[in-house]
Structure 1
Amino acid sequence: MQNPRKGAEAGKFSRHKENKGKKKNKEREERETRRRERGGKKMKAEKGRSVEERYTQWKSLVPVLYDWLANHNLVWPSLSCRWGPQLEQATYKNRQRLYLSEQTDGSVPNTLVIANCEVVKPRVAAAEHISQFNEEARSPFVKKYKTIIHPGEVNRIRELPQNSKIVATHTDSPDVLIWDLEAQPNRHAVLGATDSRPDLILTGHQDDAEFALAMCPTEPFVLSGGKDKSVVLWSIHDQISTLAMEPGPTKSPGSTGTSTKHASKGSGNNDKHVDGPVIGPRGIYQGHEDTVEDVQFCPSSAQEFCSVGDDSCLILWDARAGVTPAVKVEKAHNADLHCVDWNPHDVNLILTGSADNTVHMFDRRNLTSGGIGSPVHKFEGHSAAVLCVQWSPDTSSVFGSSAEDGILNIWDHEKIGKKQDAAGSRAANAPPGLFFQHAGHRDKVVDFHWNTSDPWTIVSVSDDCESTNGGGTLQIWRMIDLIYRPAEEVLAELDKFKSHILACDKN
């Protein structure tokens, strides 16, 4: 028979051992947590150092790589930047509208900002001047002209190509807001100020539509995508005609022939009604199985457009054929798709950017192989998710891509596979097609826009909240033309200085 005392002692020892084991496990978990935290801090510090090292190296090369650069510090981050109309041409610089936003913390209203930008002409700026800027200062080339108090955060701005004084904006709501920027009154953005009244409100989404937004180059059509997995098309032709006919000074914002109503209430932070004239959609297109992240019109047809989404699909639509996909490309990437653009010079070529860090170029005549996406080429030059892609408006084979890695790459797909010249115009380890990297941002580059009025001039903006705990950086820049001009032209120009260079070399 077992001794009860021994049994009790054994039980006590067992419980003690169990408690001791639990204590050890807890201590081990705490040590592991501390180790992970230290590791995370170390990785963040190392990443910060590498970003700063890259930036320092980039800044030292600015006088060599750039024809012109302006750095503009933003107090509040802007998720979008767009060029407006050119206003004036002078001897050494042009004046042009620039659109951006202020995404605030609620202490002051969110705003849509119209700025005047002095764009210095090519081969005017002195090399030593363009690299001497203070990262914390505002640029003298960018001056705020007008402020619109926006109902909610501005996630996306897109201008109407036929009249770039008219823009559409996306916020955290189902609606698209249309603004006649010249007619809108200038507002003082102070806490408690009432929202500006949009000139039009486009309804049709059943859930928030935050980012996917495009305006048609051939007709005053607007395209949007959202969390309701749908693509929505509007025609604002009649309303835009009314806006254009009314004289600016006497026109009140939103005065069109359309009745005024309350717009939809968003499910996000923008939970207040927006007043203004409302128009419904021309068509609602279903085919995606997840959030639609970006949309784009075919440059030659207002009835054809494309969309990409978190379902990894690229879909081509034809409004004349109905509301179902004309072509659906499954697995266009191996992750969510964030952006899409359609080549304005060659309507067969479409670009997509993804969370898989790559840009794919598709030919719409041969989109799939074996039922999945078959791109003409995969461009691999980013180390983080690609957020924005855009074809150059001037050169049919050139495009840009920006990403969460803080880099804006400029590519030329015609350079892929071509034999490099004797001097080696492409670095040995550079991805095929890549010929320029803009590394002036130190955080994710959320948007950029080629300037159609000033070839090779780009505006780009980064959201610097992760790196500096707030604000953003707007940069307007133009690479030196020796980089992109034909090699024979560059060599001919350099040949003029050959004797001078040789003389310097002898000394």
Structure 2
Amino acid sequence: MASIEEEEKMGSDVEFVDVESDEAIADDDDDDEEEVVPFVPGKSNVDEDTEMVQDDTAYVMYHQAQTGSPCLSFDIIKDQLGDNRSRFPLTTYIVAGTQADRAHLNSVIVMRMSNLKKLKQPGEEADKDDDDDDSDSLIDSDEEDEGELPELNTAMISHLGGVNRIRGTKLHGKQIAATWSDTGSVNVWNLESALESVESQEAASKFSRDEGRVPPLFSFTGHQTEGFALDWSPTVPGTLASGDCKKNIHIWKMEEGGTWRVDQRPYVAHSESIEDIQWSPNEKTVFASCSVDKSIRVWDIRAAPSKACMLTVENTHESDVNVISWNKTEPFIISGGDDGVINVWDLRQFQQKSPPIAKFKQHTAPITSVEWHPIDSTVFACSGADDQITLWDLALERDPDAEAQDQQVDVPPQLLFIHQGQTDIKECHWHPQIPGVIISTALSGFNIFKTISV
């Protein structure tokens, strides 16, 4: 586990920790053989004295890291290490934003997590210890030191105000990120110097001397209040949508010279706070939004802002709609609400006001994040305020042979996996280049893991 103090501008080492979770149950007082019934959080009765332990055989990889102030939003940075890679140890890059107690103590943090190894399974040889190796570099080869611990290198950019949400993108070959500040401004940052800093000690020393004073490329204060909804268009580089708590959405468009033009006319159709925005993965002018008003709306920016709302589905949840995710290859949108429900919508049926094509109620608290798998169009991940991350596969159907066992614990056949161990989970994202790897952030810190299920 790595601890990053607020006053530091560079990160420290990651170390392995023993983690207890609810993936398995151990009761040392009962040695008698009994029928094994799967444990399902929120649905299985467990005595207070029962010891909950993690089942390592359910994970291919599992690591934790912590920051001094919680980072309740983050994004994964696409790197140059290759797509569809699976060779261990792994390296990944993320950008996150802090929520410190005082506005001036906040930062945008670029992180390089390296030497991430597989979990040792029963019967496998233990890793060799090499306490004499004090090298900070990642050895990604067959001759690597098996005992070397994971590493976390960080670069922190000063940010005024807590970061409500952060989203990254590539623009003209450079990595940038947009942040929603709780001060009411939306800022765009160039992350290149921070990325260089986490790669070399020389660049890190220079970045540290500058104390992370990287001015934003652009700032917009036209919202006049804070917000959470933020998304870069995947089809039109530099196009951004931002939505606030006063039901206004603004569209940003890139102009020559590296700046942005923000339409001062807001897109208004929701009656309450905008909670999330998702651009269509293949239509350049279309995006979707969800709101506290319980609706999901689809917009086309070719029309004037007052007439751009094309489709609306009201009362999609019993309360606030917190998050949505647009499938990259199929006409589906997932939504998650304060009611703890996950709904899957077929966009082709929006016009008919049809009900969701799938509905799941596994979580016992508000849904905080949903995301489709980047490659498998039937798989998605979901996080909730009940400290659970659930993995789902819509392609699965109930097995008649397992019917009796499923009835004991009331588990939908589409539920692949439940991950626990974090407190107050806010976001989870699939790694777009490392199949099956998920990174999540919570009040208690980050998890990076890969299960045997996906």
Q: Same fold (TM over 0.5)?
A: yes
Amino acid at match of 2:340: N
The equivalences for 1:317-466 within 5 A come to: 317-323=299-305, 324=307, 325-346=309-330, 348-367=331-350, 374-415=355-396, 418-420=397-399, 422=401, 427-428=406-407, 429-441=410-422, 443-463=423-443
Alpha-carbon separation, structure 2, partners of 1:213 and 1:55: 42
**Pair 154,144 (structure 1): closer, same or farther in 2 beyond 3 Å:** farther
SS of the residue corresponding to residue 64 of structure 1 reads helix
The one-letter amino acid paired with 1:391 is: W
Q: Are residues 1:104 and 2:121 paired? A: no
What is aligned with 1:86? 79
* CA pair 333-127 structure 1, distance change in 2 beyond 3 A: same
For the residue of structure 1 that corresponds to 2:256, the secondary structure is helix
* Aligned partners of 1:113 and 1:144 also within 8 Å: no
Q: Quick one: which amino acid aligns to residue 345 of structure 2?
A: F
Q: Secondary structure at the match of 1:474?
A: strand
Q: Structure 1 residue 197 and structure 2 residue 215: aligned?
A: yes
Larger helix fraction of residues: 1
SS at match of 1:367: helix
Identity across matched positions, percent: 25
The answer on 1:232 being equivalent to 2:213 is: no
Instruction: Provide the C-alpha distance between the structure 2 equivalents of 1:457 and 1:161, rounded to a whole number of angstroms.
Output: 21
Compute the displacement of 1:107 (Å). 8.9
1:338 partner SS: strand
Q: Is residue 108–residue 157 contact of structure 2 (8 Å, CA) maintained in 1?
A: yes
Q: What residue is the counterpart of 1:60 in the other structure?
A: 54
Confirm or deny: 8 A CA contact 1:94 1:119 kept in the other structure.
yes
Q: 1:284 to 1:99 in 2, by over 3 A?
A: same
Q: Are 1:211 and 2:228 counterparts?
A: yes
User: Paired residues, what number?
Assistant: 370
Q: Letter of the 1:335 partner, please give it.
A: S
Measured after TM superposition, the shift of residue 431 of structure 1 is: 2.6
- 1:142 deviation in Å? 4.6
What are the equivalent positions in structure 2 for 1:260-299 lying under 5 Å apart?
Answer: 279-281=261-263, 284-299=266-281
Secondary structure in 1 aligned to 2:73?
A: coil
Following the alignment from structure 1 to structure 2, what is the Cα–Cα distance between the partners of residues 150 and 436? 36
Counterpart code for 2:268:
Q
| Deviation (angstroms), 1:318 | 0.7
1:51 Cα deviation (Å)?
A: 11
Whether the 8 Å CA contact 1:109–1:189 is kept in 2: the answer is: no
User: What amino acid sits opposite 2:181 in the alignment?
Assistant: T
Q: Aligned partners of 2:446 and 2:278: how far apart in 1?
A: 24
Larger Rg: 1
Secondary structure at the aligned position of 2:66 is classed as strand
Q: Aligned to 1:218, what secondary structure does the other structure show?
A: coil
Q: CA deviation at 1:283?
A: 5.8
The match for 2:13 is none
**Mapped contact 1:380–1:431 kept (Cα < 8 A):** no
Q: Distance in 1 between matches of 2:114 and 2:342?
A: 32
For residue 321 of structure 1, give the secondary structure of its aligned residue in structure 2. Answer: coil
Task: Give, in angstroms, the shift of residue 314 of structure 1.
Answer: 0.5
Taking the aligned partners of 1:477 and 1:55, their CA distance within structure 2 comes to 25
- The residue identity in structure 1 corresponding to 2:101 is D
1:160 — aligned with what? Answer: 169
Closer, same or farther in 2 for the Cα pair 1:126/1:174, shift >3 Å?
Answer: same
The answer to whether the 8 A contact 2:398-2:413 is kept is no
Matching residue's letter, 2:71: S
User: 2:103–2:162: 8 Å Cα contact kept in structure 1?
Assistant: no
How far did 1:92 drift?
A: 2.9
Is 2:158 the counterpart of 1:176?
no
Aligned with 1:95: secondary structure?
strand
Distance 1:142 1:426 in 2: 42
Q: Which residues of structure 1 form unaligned runs of 5+?
A: 1-46, 133-138, 243-257, 259-277, 464-471, 485-507
Query: What letter corresponds to residue 404 of structure 1 in structure 2?
Result: A
